[in-house]
Structure 1
Amino acid sequence: MTFNPPRAEWPSSDKVMWQTLWSDAGPLDDPGPLAHLRQTTHNSLEPRYARWIKWLRAHDVASLNLHPADRATVSRLQKWLATLEHTRPMTRLSYIDGVLRILVAAAPEMDWSLQRRLLDGLRRAAGRGDQSRKSGRVLSSAVLLQLGLNHAGPYSEAAATPLERKKRLRDGAMIALLAVLPMRRRSFCELALDRSVHVDGARILICLSEDMTKTAVSWETAVPHQVEPTLRRYIEDARPFLMSRGDQHHDILWVGKKGEIIGQNYIGSRIGKLTKRLTGKRVSPHLFRDAAATTMVRTSPQASRLIQPVLAHSSPRTAERHYIHAQTIDAGRDYASLIGKLKKDTR
């Protein structure tokens, strides 16, 4: 297995193109077409484009003499896709989408209609934009909350070993917290004590800085009272136990059985498997966000006003970006109250 070539080893035309796309504005120069994107997007696009260069070197080295945009013919992209057949549809979509995003920005005057048709086909194959793929998988947030609390409570206490009890408490806390505060997976995985999770005697406060959110808008709220005791038990009891097993010393909130930092893929897989086993429906972390929106819309038109601030959706208008930030604390509290009411109504 060979690694993707680092940018220093790219063809000179690609290095120049990349530098131009991401360059900041100067006294006499406009910013590059992609300079407005966040560093996380930059970090995501670079390995995808490097994978494209790696394939060209192995299968079509003569094309490296062309301008980067001229290489991306439909025929050449299809040949690349053929070598990616072992990957998932979403992975193939990610690669092609990333490469075209770069090249369209570099050469917007070119006709990209055929490449966009190819991209549309990949989106359909991956289920993007197809709401039927979520059919039956979007549960009520009240159901997910109760699932998490039960897993962290009675089910945890019934475990045969201390390790299993702590793991169940952790898993239940994750599910319950996502049910009432359905943040994006990256933000959820990056939560860290005393940086984005602040614990005192009265409450637990979640504070996401601008670099932790997709919209680059800071977001903060108190953990709702339904979940606060469970999360506090995890922080004060289960997490120290797990950390001690591996002699770990870091501040990331969610940890594995030996205190190691667990990443997005592990958390996504873990939550999906648990919800599948306990409800018969696999609910990914992202579907918790759909559950929140669906729960609010189904409840009442008044409740649906909470969707934008609870989910931290952005708006093209700067004024609304500030509105989202200002409303998150109240919205989080109102949304938690809504779920609590739903739980009572279903008893």
Structure 2
Amino acid sequence: MSLVLPRAQWPRSDRAMWDALCKSAGPLDDPGGLTHLRPTSLDTLQVRYGRWLQWLATTDPDALALPPVNRATLARLQTWLVALEHTKPMSRLMFVDAVLRVLRAADPAGDWIMQLRLRKGLQRAAGRGDPDRKNGRILSSAVLLKAGLTHATADADAASTPLKRMMCQRDGLMIALLAVLPIRRRSFCELRVGQSLHLTADEIVMTLSRDMTKTGVPWEATVPDQVAPVLRCYITEVRPALLARGNQRHDTLWVGKRGEIMGQIYIGSRIGDVTLKLTGKRIPPHLFRDAAATTLARSSAQNARLIRPVLAHSGFKTAERHYIHAQTIDAGRDYAALLNRLKGDQS
């Protein structure tokens, strides 16, 4: 049985509440309480709220007859947490937080004091997540860049078949590109030739629209010289050959053996498998961001200032956004230059 109750099976009151929270503003109506969230955030809230409803349907079905905002009593949330003891503290926090975000948006004037105290306790217990999750897995970005480029060139040249050569070129490129431009996995997987990647005779520019960034702020960077030739070769030679093998026609950057679009889960797994083979450590896409931050912070205090623009972190005022947009381009170039020096020192 699924742990999440599909939205189509939610009680009518919950579906009506959700629709009202997501309703856009009209000429005479205010927007719903969740309309400020991005679609991906809404999807996440919907899944976590659906998990709450599935638990209620299984263990306390009579509660589903109550108005949604009246179900999340302190006692009922505590009982749910007992059922969630097999999950990590951060997961328990995220589940409870999602339910409270939805219900408080539906009833902002309600008395949520005790539930918020419970959430505060979960936040203390969760801290910054599992401290052992990243132990030994945060390599220097220079190490990852060198491993990726070697796999895309020397390893590819030594491949026993043309297909294996193309797989090496693609996989090595993914690692090298993430090492110098550590964007989030969803953005990385959604890259499209001609839309988010623009080739000219002199450079390749990566542009992420506001729909592709977590912060909702457009982001742009020039692909560094260390990686640009490998990316250009993939786009102009490798990718077309893979598309032809499966008679595929689309503009998504990352493709499989027969030109099929590679999904986020597969790309994450593939990058983890290849980095494990190349470095002895499984480095999924999101840890490339930790690698970049650690590399910058350890190199010098001056380079540490590049962490925010390189990783496209939020926190800047709206009035500064045009300045930050230009700063990200310069920061990306400075970061690439640093990695080039570090890679040279390790040779």
Shared fold per TM-score greater than 0.5: yes
Q: What is the 5 A alignment of 1:153-232? A: 153-232=153-232
Which letter does structure 2 place at the counterpart of 1:276?
L
Establish whether residue 288 from structure 1 lines up as the match of residue 275 from structure 2. no
Higher mean Cα deviation, 231-240 or 186-195? 231-240
Structure 1 residues 131 and 86, CA, compared in 2 at 3 Å: closer, same or farther? Answer: closer
Tell me the CA shift for residue 114 of structure 1.
5.2
Indicate the residue corresponding to 2:123 in structure 1.
Answer: 120
Task: Give the TM-score of the pair, scaled to structure 2.
Answer: 0.89
Equivalent residues of 2:24, 2:31 under 8 A apart: yes
Tell me the CA shift for residue 59 of structure 1.
3.2
Tell me the CA shift for residue 229 of structure 1.
0.8
Establish whether residue 110 from structure 1 lines up as the match of residue 112 from structure 2. yes
Matched residues in 2 for 1:286 and 1:118: separation? 27
Equivalent residues of 2:90, 2:129 under 8 A apart: no
Equivalent residues of 1:74, 1:118 under 8 A apart: no
Matched residues in 1 for 2:67 and 2:118: separation? 17
Matched residues in 2 for 1:121 and 1:303: separation? 31
Indicate the residue corresponding to 1:327 in structure 2.
Answer: 327
For residues 19-48 of structure 1, the C-alpha deviation after alignment (integer angstroms, 9 at most, x for no partner) is 332333445554333221112211222233
Structure 1 unmatched runs, 5+: none
Higher mean Cα deviation, 192-201 or 276-285? 276-285
Indicate the residue corresponding to 2:275 in structure 1.
Answer: 275
Indicate the residue corresponding to 1:13 in structure 2.
Answer: 13
| Secondary structure in structure 2 of the residue aligned to 1:134 | coil
For residues 99-124 of structure 1, the C-alpha deviation after alignment (integer angstroms, 9 at most, x for no partner) is 23212333443121354157437736
RMSD across aligned positions (CA): 2.6
Equivalent residues of 1:314, 1:320 under 8 A apart: no
Indicate the residue corresponding to 1:101 in structure 2.
Answer: 101
Structure 1 residues 252 and 83, CA, compared in 2 at 3 Å: closer, same or farther? Answer: farther
Tell me the CA shift for residue 81 of structure 1.
5.9
Structure 1 residues 161 and 87, CA, compared in 2 at 3 Å: closer, same or farther? Answer: farther
Structure 1 residues 5 and 290, CA, compared in 2 at 3 Å: closer, same or farther? Answer: closer
Tell me the CA shift for residue 210 of structure 1.
0.6
Tell me the CA shift for residue 87 of structure 1.
7.2
Equivalent residues of 2:96, 2:119 under 8 A apart: no
| Secondary structure in structure 2 of the residue aligned to 1:205 | strand
Tell me the CA shift for residue 307 of structure 1.
1.3
Matched residues in 2 for 1:210 and 1:290: separation? 22
Matched residues in 2 for 1:98 and 1:159: separation? 48
Indicate the residue corresponding to 1:252 in structure 2.
Answer: 252
Higher mean Cα deviation, 265-274 or 88-97? 88-97
Equivalent residues of 1:74, 1:114 under 8 A apart: no
Indicate the residue corresponding to 1:72 in structure 2.
Answer: 72
Structure 1 residues 158 and 73, CA, compared in 2 at 3 Å: closer, same or farther? Answer: farther
Establish whether residue 34 from structure 1 lines up as the match of residue 37 from structure 2. no
Which letter does structure 1 place at the counterpart of 2:112?
M
Which letter does structure 1 place at the counterpart of 2:116?
S
| Secondary structure in structure 2 of the residue aligned to 1:151 | helix
Matched residues in 2 for 1:84 and 1:259: separation? 41
Matched residues in 1 for 2:3 and 2:116: separation? 32
| Secondary structure in structure 2 of the residue aligned to 1:259 | coil
| Secondary structure in structure 2 of the residue aligned to 1:220 | strand
Higher mean Cα deviation, 138-147 or 29-38? 29-38
Matched residues in 1 for 2:70 and 2:276: separation? 46
Matched residues in 2 for 1:88 and 1:245: separation? 43
Structure 1 residues 341 and 323, CA, compared in 2 at 3 Å: closer, same or farther? Answer: same
Indicate the residue corresponding to 1:315 in structure 2.
Answer: 315
Q: What is the 5 A alignment of 1:54-69? A: 54-69=54-69
Indicate the residue corresponding to 1:346 in structure 2.
Answer: 346
Structure 1 residues 294 and 2, CA, compared in 2 at 3 Å: closer, same or farther? Answer: closer
Equivalent residues of 1:222, 1:332 under 8 A apart: yes
Q: How many residues align?
A: 344
Which letter does structure 1 place at the counterpart of 2:67?
H
Matched residues in 2 for 1:132 and 1:2: separation? 29
| Secondary structure in structure 1 of the residue aligned to 2:133 | helix
Higher mean Cα deviation, 106-115 or 264-273? 106-115
Equivalent residues of 1:312, 1:324 under 8 A apart: no
Tell me the CA shift for residue 6 of structure 1.
5.1
Matched residues in 2 for 1:271 and 1:138: separation? 15
Equivalent residues of 2:192, 2:251 under 8 A apart: yes
For residues 203-223 of structure 1, the C-alpha deviation after alignment (integer angstroms, 9 at most, x for no partner) is 211111110000111111111
Equivalent residues of 2:209, 2:217 under 8 A apart: yes
Matched residues in 2 for 1:132 and 1:90: separation? 13
Which letter does structure 2 place at the counterpart of 1:311?
L
Structure 1 residues 14 and 329, CA, compared in 2 at 3 Å: closer, same or farther? Answer: same
